Structure 1
Amino acid sequence: MKNYYSIKCQFLAYSFMISLCLQNCTHSTSLQSIEDSQANTQQLILIGKTLVSKQGHKVSLIQEQRKLQASVIENLPQGFSRSYLAPVIVNPVLNLSLASVNNTEWQKSHTHIINDQVYITRLGLLGGGKRGEETKKIQYPLHEAVIKWDKNQIQQLLNSDIDINLKNEEGDTFLHLAIKQIKILLNKRLAELGIHIIDIENMDRTSLQYLSIEAIKKDYVQEVADLLLPLQEKLALDLNACNNKRKTPLHIASGQGHKELVKLLLQLGADTHKKNKDDNTPLHLAAAYGYPSIVKLLIKKGADINAKNTDDDTPLHLAAAYGYPSIVKLLIKKGADINAKNTDDDTPLHLAAVYGYPSIVKLLIKKGADINAKDKDDDTPLHLAAAYGYPSIVKLLIEKGADVNAKGEDGQSPLHLAAGRGHINVIELLLEKGANINIKEKGGGLPVHFAAVNGNLEVLKLLLQKGADINAKTKEGPSLLGFSAAFGHLEIVDFLLEKGAEIHDGYCTGIYEAAACGHLEIVKLLLKRGLDVNAKDKNGWTLLHWATQEGQVEMVGLLLARGADIHAQNIEGSSALHITSQGWHTEIVKLLLDKGADVNVKNKSGVVPLHAASEGGNIETIKLLLERVAEVNANEETGYTPLDCATQKGHTEVAKLLLEKGADIHVKDEVSQSALHWAVLKGRVGVVKLLLEQGADIQAKNIDGETSFHWACQKGHLEVAKLLIQNGADINAKDKYGKTPIDIARQKKYKALEEMLLGTIS
């Protein structure tokens, strides 16, 4: 759920038509006045000590040469380089047109007014830079006056001709800022009294404290009203202006709890249906931030009580989620849809349950909320209350008819969720109310499995005490012991073993995963309690296989010390040495070889550890295997060599090492493909280059009469094709079907490759 707060929209006012005269500038720098007779001059306004245009911009006196011109009589101090500051005296009585003096070095320079200073910069000299660019990001004068809460200056500006709806960089008008500033001033005043604005809603309306606070608030609001009412009469004020977050002043006032400001804005005609960037209306914000009096005002003025934001939350969703029962009651009374669903298919009851508000849950049920409504995960409010551990809400829901054994999309019941998160009070309550202790989710998991996975011993004890099966398994095989071992819960493993849990439970992968994860103490305990160190899972993997695959050096050492069979093979005939050679675990490879592992052992497919290492690309492991006399040209059952493995995977350095150690570059597999065929097939440019340098036969053909060049065209490898041509590939070679490489490129529609080949022929 999103947090909806922040409001900026437009309201700015000013104008102050004054033309001016600059006199007696010090440091011999002056601006000369000329009669106001030129056609395209721009009138300026004096705001405090700052010159602004009628549009509200601080003025660069040379913004555009034809619109506003200035002459600078230069007599600057020695050493002046890029800029110079000089005081200027402004006479607000006279009109002034500023004209340039031609043929001076400063004709194109920029002059900015900052406070009471003339700022001259040479950024525009000789045409460089941007004419009239502002020296820094600024607020408009009216915005600045509001931020300072200078009421005299604000009034002066509002009485002028300036556009009151100008926006700052955040899109705020002066009215946005005024509302924010009132909040700051009010909070500061209340803080001095030790009060937070949200507390006001819960105060005794007849107390002296409440009445005093209301008086303070009304004083501030009256100040804003005094500013706005005259503007509204002029029809100049845009009450519904939106800032960059699409918030209107009414959004800001509603979300910040300014009841009096909300009342004022509504009286002036503010639109209650406007939505911000999250599609929240002012009513959404008032409901979310807990302002029932504002909710009443907005509803009275016709606010859409069932409006939805981008998450499809209604004001009732937000009031329920943020825990405001009085607002929930009010919204329902005024016709809010009690079973409305958001984008997650959550009803207000779901949200009250998940965030733990029993009074709101009770209220919603009383008013007719669907107690077994399901969200997009098919979870009911009871699922959520159980998952987040709210026993009072769980009890209330069940007593009002919630299905205690309802299943979510994944088949999990409220008891599964409570067990998984360790909410023992909720578990006891669910069991007391008839929850099925042996209910299964889609994977066959029981609530007790969830407790084991999450390592909650007390919950597990409770469930076993209530009749859960200590040896129950999921569809995939793991038992409680397996889950506990896999997740490293030593205390639970010890407890289960004490209670007689079966260690030899067939294909319990969890125990093997304990070895893979390096849970030394758990494996030691299991071995001590009778686990066979050479036990195999359903795929024939021993603890040693699992530990070597994950690079668990200490675990491998432990298992070997406890008598693990170093030659044990899985159902594919692979030993632990096969498994670890494919990874990056050279230290384990060395350990296994030192303990007597056969360096040239073959699995059922004829693969030796060097095949696995060459495919994996760990050059250090390959060096070690070769040092231990691994057969460099070993063939697996399809004739595939370690060099073929390396070339197909693109391991150039490995291929180079194998060739240096005697790998046969010309050997072919069962379909007569060489290492060059494989490298080209996979587009391995670096390996192709290496093989050609080492004398690979570029014209060699496979059983279909295809050269490596045919394969380059078959796969569209343009760079490889270029390399083969450069090294003498026969562009006209035909396969057994009579097709040349260019025929294949054309058939495959590799246009760039075809054009390259045609260019070669011509």
Structure 2
Amino acid sequence: MRQMKDVRGLKKRLEGVCGLPSFRQQLLHDGAVLDDETKLARLELPVDLQLVLLSFGSVSQKQRNEFSFAVARGRTSEVQRMLQSPQDPDLADEAGETPLLVATKHGHAEVALLLLEAGADVNLPNRRGWTALTRSSAEGRVDFVRLLLEAGADTECAGGESNEAAALFQAVQHGHVGVVRLLLGSRANVALRSKSDGQTPLTRASLSGHTEIACLLLKSRAEVDAADDCGATALMFASSRGNADIVSLLLEARAGKDMVTTRGTLFLSNKIGQTALIQASYAGRLEVVRLLLRSRADTKMMNCLGESALSCATQQGQTSVVQLLRASNAP
């Protein structure tokens, strides 16, 4: 006890003994409850203290909403008072939002810390399957992501029917480089696939044009040729969108130049058998076509309609691409 300054510090030490957070502990001295701020130096040592472990009481929906309101407004002292009643830090409001999610949404880090200290489940999702880490990743809140990861947040935790609620998918989708870097540093799964379309973080980054993120994913050993449910790869998406920098990265990582789609997808002209070169030629992506030709992409390949890169470029009136393909002896 001599190493601890106050009752709060003693309760923190007792958490490892009783298994309950300090908010669910009461320390009594001569029958009187000691405040957390009580200095231990004021007590004559040695001293007998009684530890009382508190259970959560019943809480009405109105009280839940009041708690959520205090969290949303960042009223730290009010939240602390409610937690000391004690109140379950995981009780959701009428919208199904947990207090930790609400604190994350409104950017109240001090309140989030209080909730975590009170034993809030860092991985508890809302009705959409989103966790606090998902939301902070989607919104690019680097400080919150770091806080939640340190609290043991699961980078793959995602409820509902789609795992796109996973933190890495959201950070990639919204182009938050700093968050992606933190998640990868915590060994987030780069091979995670969307249940809705089979896309990986790398294919999503390539589709969205996030070059630095694509580079980070490749450095974290993301599979360069991972195809989605339609057989589309990162190289196809980057080529279609004309993202030459990403195309260069993927080619340096030895992406398959002549892979083909197995089903139609709106992102790639909705045709089976599309290659990166055919799609880039169709869309008039001159610089990408040049990169693919330098990498010896097969100009003879055709899609399900018998269309080659040259015929697609010709049909779409992509004059510069047509000239480049003809100069490369494309049939």
Q: Contact 1:448–1:460 (CA<8 Å) still a contact in 2? A: yes
Task: For 1:400, give the aligned amino acid.
Answer: S
1:419 aligns with 2:206: yes
- TM alignment of 1:320-335, pairs within 5 A: 320-335=104-119
**1:470 aligned onto 2:257:** yes
**2-structure distance, mates of 1:463, 1:381:** 23
Contact 2:209 2:238 (C-alpha < 8 Å) held by counterparts: yes
Count, aligned residues: 257
Give the match for residue 41 of structure 2: none
Alpha-carbon offset, residue 460 of structure 1: 0.6
Match of 1:315 in 2: 99
Q: CA deviation at 1:287?
A: 2.8
CA distance in 2 between counterparts of 1:481 and 1:489 reads: 9
Matched AA of 1:290: G
Shift in alpha-carbon separation, 1:309–1:455, aligned structure 2, 3 A: farther
SS at match of 1:345: coil
| 2:136 partner amino acid | A
Kept after mapping to 2: 8 A contact 1:438/1:447 = yes
CA displacement at 1:345 relative to structure 2: 0.9
**1:479 has 2:275 as partner:** yes
**Alpha-carbon distance in structure 1 between the residues aligned to 2:281 and 2:70:** 51
Letter aligned with residue 259 of structure 2: A
Map Cα deviations across residues 538-593 of structure 1 (whole Å, 9 max, x no partner).
Answer: xxxxxxxxxxxxxxxxxxxxxxxxxxxxxxxxxxxxxxxxxxxxxxxxxxxxxxxx
Aligned to 1:392: 178
- Distance of 2:85 and 2:254 partners within structure 1: 60
Shift of 1:458: 0.6
What residue number does 2:266 align with?
Answer: none
The alpha-carbon distance between structure 1 residues 285 and 508, as it changes in their structure 2 partners (threshold 3 A), is farther
Alpha carbons 1:317, 1:348 under 8 Å: kept: yes
Note if contact 2:281-2:318 (Cα within 8 Å) is conserved in structure 1.
Answer: no
Return the letter of the residue paired with 1:474. T
1:274 pairs with 2:55: no
Alignment equivalent of 1:447, drawn from 234, 256, 260: 234
- Kept in 2: contact 1:444–1:473 (CA 8 A): yes
Q: Percent identity between the aligned chains?
A: 28
Equivalent residues of 2:156, 2:167 under 8 A apart: yes
Distance 1:317 1:309 in 2: 11
Contact kept in structure 1, 2:313 and 2:319, CA below 8 Å: no
Among residues 528, 533, 539, which one is paired with 2:326 in the alignment? 528
TM superposition shift of 1:522: 5.5
Matched position secondary structure for 2:163: coil
Given the alignment of the two structures, is residue 429 of structure 1 paired with residue 216 of structure 2, yes or no? yes
Q: Counterparts of 1:286 and 1:486 in 2: how far apart (Å)?
A: 55
**Distance in 2, Cα, partners of 1:447 & 1:527:** 23
1:306 Cα deviation (Å)? 2.7
Shift of the alpha carbon at 1:334?
A: 2.0
* Structure 2 partner of 1:495: 291
1:114-193 equivalent positions in 2, closer than 5 A: none
Measured after TM superposition, the shift of residue 390 of structure 1 is 2.8
Partner SS for 1:313: coil
Instruction: State the distance in 2 between where 1:503 and 1:281 align.
Output: 63
The answer to whether the 8 A contact 1:485-1:522 is kept is no
Structure 1 Cα separation of the partners of residues 215 and 299 of structure 2: 29
Q: Flag the structure with higher helix content.
A: 2
Q: Using structure 2 for the length normalisation, give the TM-score.
A: 0.67
Distance apart, 1:316 and its partner CA: 0.9
1:272 touches 1:282 (CA, 8 Å); kept in 2?
Answer: no
Distance 1:348 1:519 in 2: 49
C-alpha distance in 2 between matches for 1:347 and 1:522: 48
Q: Check the 8 A contact 1:482/1:508 in 2, yes or no.
A: no
Instruction: Note if contact 2:225-2:234 (Cα within 8 Å) is conserved in structure 1.
Output: yes
Select the structure with the greater relative contact order (CA < 8 A; seq sep ≥ 6): 2
> Tell me, which stretches of 5 or more residues in structure 2 are unaligned?
1-58, 263-271
Contact 1:281/1:307 (CA < 8 Å) preserved in 2?
no
Q: TM-score with structure 1 length normalisation?
A: 0.31
Q: In 2, Cα distance between the equivalents of 1:298 and 1:522?
A: 68
Aligned alpha-carbon RMSD (Å): 2.9
- The answer as to whether partners of 1:312 and 1:341 remain within 8 angstroms in 2 is no
Which of 295, 303, 313 aligns to 1:507? It is: 303
- Larger radius of gyration, structure 1 or 2? 1
Q: CA deviation at 1:463?
A: 0.9
**Per-residue CA shift, 1:423-468, capped at 9, x if unaligned?**
2222222222221112222222222122112221111111111211
**In the TM superposition, what is the alpha-carbon distance from 1:494 to its structure 2 partner?**
3.7
Structure 1: state its 5+ residue gaps: 1-270, 533-762
Question: Against the structure 1 CA distance between its residues 489 and 309, is the aligned structure 2 distance closer, same or farther, given a 3 Å change threshold?
Answer: farther
- Aligned equivalent of 1:378, options 144, 150, 163: 163
Counterpart code for 1:493: V
- 3-state SS of paired residue (1:469): coil
Pick the aligned partner of 1:342 from 126, 133, 140. 126
Q: Is the 8 A contact 1:272 1:298 kept in 2?
A: no
Change (3 A) 1:332 1:478: same
Contact 1:424 1:459 in 2 (8 A): yes
What is the match of residue 26 of structure 1?
Answer: none
Q: Check whether the contact 2:122–2:152 (CA below 8 A) recurs between aligned residues.
A: yes
Distance 1:321 1:513 in 2: 47
Structure 1 residues 305 and 468: CA distance shift in structure 2, 3 A? same
Whether the aligned pair in 2 keeps the contact of 1:388 and 1:418 (CA below 8 Å) is no
C-alpha contact 1:273 1:303 (8 A) present in aligned 2: no
Q: In the TM superposition, what is the alpha-carbon distance from 1:514 to its structure 2 partner?
A: 5.1
Q: Which residue of 1 aligns with 2:135?
A: 351
Q: Could you say what secondary structure the match of 1:426 adopts?
A: helix
> Which of structure 1's runs of 4+ aligned residues deviate more than 3 A?
288-291, 297-305, 497-500, 508-516, 522-532
**Cross-structure match for 1:362:** 146
Give the superposition deviation at 1:310. 5.5
